[in-house]
Structure 1
């Protein structure tokens, strides 16, 4: 029986009822993002990207999704000409982002192969020098973004401007800096994908070679052959661990009694003679505190730099664990030794040209692999952190002018409406009359807030419409875990097996039992207790500090190269990803068994 003959469907978007109170939600987003306006919206297969956008978009926040997925697509389609895959179409349905991979017509694939090999080959042959240039480009963009200022307009033009003949009133700076902020963010999102697709492709190439050369090889064994590297994304967490060790060495434990009181904690360290520790703490902040407990795509994400109670709280917990005699460092040496053992075992099975191919493909995957996670720090965390800080600076200018009550209210405008509001503000100021905004936006923001709140009462459908016979787009498979087989398992639901096990992707090996802790947002991380099993829609790379407390991870979405899978492998924790429904099926407090070797999760009791 073929897949086509057994095919089932997810709900059609037109059949899904709008939550009460969310009527008119389509008006909050740009016309090109609204699902009802999408060509073939009820026919194409769409999956919800709850990995990056797990909560409802406020209108301004769509910018992250738009820039990220557009730039992802351009590298598949226009830069690299990846033979079987163009980009990913994206739309918003009931406040959530849905994606649909765009295939390359089969007859066009052969013509793309030589050009792809030429372009990808240039990167792989010059990886180190091009990556060094990438770091310079990204850092320069961040520095330029940092220099942008959003200041209230003056009562009068300074007399010096009269004398110099400047002939401008200062409002142009507000307008130009806003447009510049958007342009700089867009620039770094284009840089984001310069190497990322290649990292996935290098791994996919090695993965395919291993599957052919070693029939029956576990997916985890292939992943382990490139693991155990010193990745920059783990550097913020490593800095906290080192600070905790130093605090214990200096006898400063008592100073961390109440890390929520940032000034009080740092003052207590100073009073205890901890100047050496404070110097190390200050040094760690640039750049490693440009890190969020979220994923950087939402205006409400909290960054360590601005909410230092967060890193101080993690340091307090690490201090406790060090005092208890725990080894808090990642088992890098063990992971590296395990990697070398597995590489040696499989390499010894090959001879001659096959062994040379193995060495070349594994070497390429190992070289490209770190970027798959490292880019997150520079773009999602650092770039987006600066961006949201500047957005709040601009929003405060509007607060002072009476347009809305709280800087976060500006997120209920889309970015083009913000440009209109700026002109409204500067026009009223320039002519000496009231601006319209204070009379329009407060009520409109409250109306929109009600719609967003209503949309947030319902979890999104994991997918829409009938899936294709085969899914080939590399990002979709390796990052999201949306494979042909996995989608069929989602559709089969309870019919997938003869027991009650939840199935997903075997993302990180090991088998453990423990008590489940279901988490749906970063704000709940403080609830996670020692020895629990984390169950989440998805984890963020910045959740590193809790991976030393938990036994395993289970997620609703995510593939072999998802952040959850990579982080768990690097911490030596079992993981099952891409289950589709674990966070809504499992309850906090239930005892579960996680089999990261087989991709199975069983509810044992509770």
Structure 2
């Protein structure tokens, strides 16, 4: 029985009132029980926070998992709060609230989160008693939940300035959003995997002949990374610092079923080699800015400069809030859960250590305390279901059609501006192309300019990252912020889901590689190993052979 046939036997009933829509951009695969339990309340808290903080005419977003598939519903703002929200929206837009939140992120939230991540990952789960490990699992879950909320709290600040820029400059110039978003390149270094630790790593390894010999060796990748850590001097210290920064981050997705960087030493080592070998290429964004500015009517150029400055200032927050919040916290929770899984598998209580991720937190703790449920067979069945069910096998919507958005012309000017900016940004995040395909030509959204021919590497999940060879064209459903460690290996990106502000599009622009996103059918119409041409300016992918 195929996964589609199995899914056809499942009931996909609306989980509550309202119109629910799938989110295949962030959650293309079925979720674990742990994630389906942990994510919704934390997500709801964060979205309600940014909506009220900015005075938006929505109460937030709620997510629900139906047979493991993620669905989201938009809640209206409480009617009694609308007058206060109008006032708050005026204050947020005129006072550039996003700048205040960026300071909060840089000075408080980000450093405190990193410190907590490091504190939790310094604990060895294997050194704890069963009771201590249950307590550690709970601390990791509580931290993970808080980081999901934090990620969502900063959503409006991450997207409103960009949406405001797209809305105004699009009106003035009629230029497509893809061309305007090209002016953001270089504003989000984290999207290209950049960090102070990576810069130190590159400099140290380039100057150390022993490190270069290790990088060039064909030894086991895990052994090579360990040997690099053990090097004397700057090289060993730089490797340790970098692996402590990225090693426990997920490499894709948000759920604890996804592997961390240290679990895939081959892919991590190849990415380090590519970073060390890379040449620094200057990109003349200023020239493109000048070209666009010349097309803006003279009376709007000063405002153009201001809008572009605000958008570029906040652009990095789009990915940073995930990388330094829940992506790292999720990896730490996974590490703790696998510690419990190894212990239970060794005792014959579960079939494989990995199956523990399909338990809820309470079930994990109960199993450590000696409970017989869930059984090893039950956890194995949950894992098998999750491995064979994706968002493509489920209905795209549940419930009635969504109500029409509020008429901007009837809103106060600043409220209308805020809602339009938000709509522009979210449309650019989730919207896929609707253009028709031809037999050997797929049309998507022009995410990152350039033309590249290479081998298509069809990847359905992190387990297949080891097949990526430098220069491949990644063909996948979508990517998340977690994926940026591996992107230096790629020559181009093609996705099924996501728009011009999806993570796939952002990283393609930051790396300067051609990208076409939102093709809808790339993973079903492009064979693994096919020769393809990616035209990132035209938004087209041609299957050559």
Q: TM-score, normalised by structure 2?
A: 0.81
Q: Using a 3 Å threshold, how does the CA distance of structure 1 residues 521 and 137 change in structure 2: closer, same or farther? A: same
Query: 463, 466, 474: which one pairs with 2:396?
Result: 463
Structure 1 residue 274, shift from structure 2 partner: 6.3
What does 1:99-118 correspond to in 2, within 5 Å? 99-102=72-75, 112-118=85-91
Report the alpha carbon displacement of residue 454 of structure 1 after superposing the two structures with TM: 5.0
Q: 2:300 aligns with which of 337, 344, 354?
A: 354
Q: Give the deviation of 1:209 after TM superposition.
A: 0.4
What is the DSSP-based 3-state SS (H/G/I as helix, E as strand, rest coil) of the residue aligned with 1:192?
helix
Shift in alpha-carbon separation, 1:598–1:262, aligned structure 2, 3 A = closer
Corresponding residue for 1:363? 309
- The answer as to whether partners of 1:555 and 1:579 remain within 8 angstroms in 2 is yes
C-alpha displacement at 1:349, in angstroms?
4.7
Give the superposed CA RMSD: 3.9
Q: Say if 2:333 is the partner of 1:387.
A: yes
Q: 1:247 to 1:21 in 2, by over 3 A?
A: same
Matches within 5 A, 1:207-286: 207-214=166-173, 216-229=174-187, 231-235=189-193, 243=201, 246-252=204-210, 253-256=212-215, 257-263=217-223, 266-267=226-227, 275-286=233-244
Q: CA deviation at 1:567?
A: 0.7
Q: 1:195 — aligned with what? A: 154
Matched with 1:92 is 65
Q: Secondary structure at the match of 2:185?
A: coil
- DSSP-derived class of the 1:188 partner: helix
Distance 1:576 1:356, change over 3 A: same
Q: Distance in 2 between matches of 1:187 and 1:45?
A: 25
Q: Does 2:114 correspond to 1:181?
A: no
C-alpha contact 1:235 1:288 (8 A) present in aligned 2: no
Q: State whether structure 2 residue 505 is matched by structure 1 residue 565.
A: yes
- Verify the 8 A CA contact 2:446 2:536 in the aligned structure 1: yes
| Change in 2 beyond 3 A, CA 1:525/1:390 | closer
Counterpart in the other structure of 1:130:
104
Aligned to 2:413: none
The reply on whether 1:593 has 2:530 as its aligned counterpart is no
User: For 1:436 and 1:260, how far apart are their aligned partners in 2?
Assistant: 39
| Superimposed CA distance per residue, residues 548-582 of structure 1 (whole angstroms, 9 cap, x where no aligned partner) | 44332110111111111111111111211111111
SS in 1 for 2:26: coil
Return the alpha-carbon distance in structure 2 between the equivalents of residues 99 and 557 of structure 1. Answer: 16
**Residue number in structure 1 paired with 2:13:** 36
Is the 1:75–1:81 Cα contact (8 Å) retained in structure 2?
Answer: no
Gaps of 5+ in 1: 1-16, 27-34, 155-169, 323-327, 426-434, 491-495
- Partners of 1:177 and 1:551 lie apart in 2 by 41
Cα distance in structure 2, aligned partners of 1:551 and 1:178: 39
Q: Which residue of 2 aligns with 1:299?
A: 257
The reply to whether residue 313 of structure 1 matches residue 282 of structure 2 is no
Q: Please say if residues 25 and 451 of structure 1, whose CA atoms lie closer than 8 Å, have aligned partners that are also in contact.
A: no
Q: Distance in 2 between matches of 1:66 and 1:451?
A: 21
1:541 to 1:453, Cα distance in 2 relative to 1, 3 A: closer
Contact 1:291 1:381 in 2 (8 A): yes
C-alpha displacement of 1:130: 1.7
Q: Tell me the secondary structure at the aligned position of residue 324 of structure 2.
A: helix
**SS of residue matched to 2:70:** strand
How has the CA–CA distance of structure 1 residues 117 and 421 changed in structure 2, closer, same or farther, with 3 Å as cutoff? farther
Partner of 1:206: 165
Tell whether 2:26 aligns with 1:52: yes
Partners of 1:230 and 1:391 lie apart in 2 by 32
Which of 1 and 2 has greater Rg? 1
Structure 1 position 576 matched with structure 2 position 516: yes
In structure 1, C-alpha distance between the alignment counterparts of 2:362 and 2:265, rounded to whole Å: 33
- The answer for unaligned runs of 5 or more in structure 2 is 406-419
| Partners of 1:517 and 1:533 within 8 A in 2 | yes
Q: Does the C-alpha gap of structure 1 residues 467 and 531 become closer, same or farther in structure 2, counting only changes over 3 Å? A: farther
CA 1:462/1:330 → structure 2, altered by over 3 Å: closer, same or farther? farther
In 2 relative to 1, CA 240–397 (structure 1 residues): closer, same or farther, beyond 3 Å?
Answer: same
In structure 2, how many angstroms separate the alpha carbons of the residues matched to 1:567 and 1:269?
Answer: 28
Q: Secondary structure at the match of 2:160?
A: helix
Cα shift at 1:95: 2.9
Does the Cα contact within 8 Å between 2:351 and 2:380 map onto a contact in 1?
no
- Cα distance between partner residues in 2 of 1:50 and 1:277: 41
SS of match in other structure, 1:564: helix
